[in-house]
Amino acid sequence: MAKTHTPKASELLFPMPRTVEDREGFFRFHDGITIAIDSAFKALKETAPTLLHVLMGGEDILVKQQAGFSSEGYSLTINNRQVVIKASKEEGAFRGISTLRNLYYTSDHRLPCCYIEDSPSFAWRGFMIDCSRHYFSPTFLKKLIDVASLYHLNRFHWHLSDDQGWRIPLEGWPELEKVASKRTLLQYTDGRTYGRLYTKEEILDIQAYAHARHMVVVPEIETPGHVSSLLAAYPQFGCSGGPYEVQDRWGIFDEVLCAGNDQVLEFLEDAITQMASLFSDPYIHIGGDECPHTAWESCPKCQKRMQEEGLTKAKELQSWMTSKICAMVSKKGKHPIGWDEVLEGTESLGIPQDLIVMSWRGVAGGIEASERKHEVIMCPNTDGCYFDYQHTDDDEEMGNLGVSSITQVSQFDPLAGLKNETARGRVLGSQGNLWSEKITTGRQAEYMLFPRLMVLAERLWNPQEQEKTLNRIPLLYKVCDALSINCYRGPLA
């Protein structure tokens, strides 16, 4: 009889670590396994036992601090009696725990002996969830953050405002909750309303949960377009004065924030000030995408602003506003991020140099931004980074607007098209984006995200030959099963 093949660690790991040496034997992960964690890693003492379902009080698993690793770097040694993780920083130790946890799922709790040394290729490894079009519950967001952290992702981009709903709690602006957070679902005849804000407590709780997993939270407030919900609550912020409504259809809407009204700037300053204190991480995303300039062309206030600022084209008002909003973000000690449209209409006024550009309409915006010395996050909808797109070109598949196949994701390179080392050095990394116009439940979101997001995670952590990545996709199904994730299992291309 043929001997059963015992998989080696190198056949069970995803993302693939930088170095893996397979060794003989295995470590059986049974009930009652113990862990000891270096006293330098205080937060890990709280999280690791729960994540691994192990107990403090012994050294079956030993996590030690040791100099010489990069901030996210670690080593992991598994022999048949003990598991040892070494790292210089707590973040590195956490990545080591994640690799161990991942191996626990893929090896059916029988971990092959090995030696691993690991560190990431890109600093920015993220995912974006649109919580405006669909309000995702805090419990569900935590589930996503946990799975993402298992694949070493470290940025949660939280899209919190759009035409179809406002989700950011701001003191002193009661209409945001009463009006902007709710829409009437037009497809129903019973006048049902939909939506709510996240409370401050929920945001702080989600943030703490993310931080325990070394995930940075990046909140986004859309400006100056995609603001129908805000205008419905405060019509004086629009050029025409309204009335406006929270939209229940999808698209790009002509009414945007009035660039000639100082009250708009006062609101934004207050919103950003409150967001800067609620969200403790160093970034605030200011939107900037798909902002029509038509309302500005016929608005007397906007025209007056253009005259005062010496602008000849309405589109230049966007760069004027971008600069104002960036300054508000910078003043709070945060880094502003904007979608690639922020590069347009900037000939006379420019945009602040500290603005990080997120390239979504292909890679051209990211390439231009890097040439203009901005830091860049590459998430092109043309190359597999849009997870609201279908997995395959099949009418019966969920998703819209395009296709992001697993095959496409498995060959995505955030540095493609960048000419030289300097330009490449400005690319922080990438992220997968999930817009939720056509997603109405968390279960659907899981189907769109997984396993594509896991494949992208490997591209950003330690990219492999395409075939090697695709051959290991069944490992991802296994983890999805273990974590009750409704993942896609259809054709890869």
- Nearest distance in Å: CB 299, Zn ion: 3
- For β-strands 19-28 and 124-130, DSSP reports them as unpaired
Q: Which long-range contacts (CB under 8 A, 24 or more apart) does 138-141 make?
A: 138/198, 138/202, 138/205, 138/206, 140/442, 140/445, 141/206
In terms of DSSP bridges, do strands 34-37 and 55-56 run parallel, antiparallel, or are they unpaired? Answer: parallel
Nearer to Zn ion, 95 or 315 (CB): 315
Q: How far is the CB of 240 from Zn ion (least distance, A)?
A: 8
| Least distance between Zn ion and beta carbon 38 (Å) | 58
Smallest separation, CB 272 to Zn ion (Å) = 20
How are strands ordered across the β-sheet holding 74-78?
Answer: 19-28, 110-118, 74-78, 83-87, 61-65, 34-37, 55-56
Nearer Cβ to Zn ion (299/329) = 299
Can you read off the two tokens belonging to residue 59? 């050294």
Which segment (53-61, 302-310, 371-379, 412-420) binds Zn ion by CB under 5 A?
302-310
CA distance 94 to 80: 22
Find, among 388, 391, 389, 385, the residue nearest to 405 by Cα. 391
Stretch that binds Zn ion, among 48-56, 254-262, 320-328, 341-349 (CB under 5 A): 254-262
Least spacing, CB of residue 370 vs Zn ion, in Å: 33
Tokens read off for 127: 């995912």
Residue closer to Zn ion, measured from CB, 227 or 454: 227
Q: Where are the alpha helices (DSSP H) in 161-299?
A: 175, 200-212, 228-233, 262-278, 294-298
- At 22, list the tokens: 């397979």
Distance CA 335, CA 330 (A): 6
How many residues belong to the site for Zn ion (CB under 5 A)?
6
Q: Would you say 239 or 246 has its CB closer to Zn ion?
A: 239
Distance CA 298, CA 312 (A): 13
Of 256-295, binders to Zn ion (CB under 5 A) are 258, 260
Euclidean distance between CA atoms 367 and 369, whole angstroms: 5
**Least Å distance between CB 311 and Zn ion?**
13
Restricting to residues 453-482, which ones interact with Zn ion according to CB under 5 A?
none
Does 301 engage in binding with Zn ion (CB under 5 A)?
yes
Minimum CB distance to Zn ion, residue 254 (Å): 12
Identity (one letter) of the amino acid at 427?
V
**452, 405 in Cβ contact below 8 A?**
no
The structure tokens listed for 385 are 């980074």
Closest to Zn ion by CB, 349 vs 398, is 349
- Considering beta carbons, is residue 33 or 258 the nearer one to Zn ion? 258
To the nearest whole angstrom, how small is the minimum distance from the Cβ of residue 317 to Zn ion?
Answer: 8
Under rule CB under 5 A, which residues in 208-247 are in contact with Zn ion? 239
In terms of CB distance, is 142 or 301 closer to Zn ion?
Answer: 301
For residue 152, which of 450, 457, 409, 412 has the smallest C-alpha distance?
Answer: 457
Q: Which is nearer to Zn ion, 255 or 446 (CB)?
A: 255
Our CB check for Zn ion shows the closer of 178 and 304 to be 304
x/- string (CB under 5 A) for Zn ion, residues 129-168?
----------------------------------------
Q: Using CB under 5 A as the criterion, which residues of the chain lie in contact with Zn ion when the complex forms?
A: 239, 258, 260, 299, 301-302
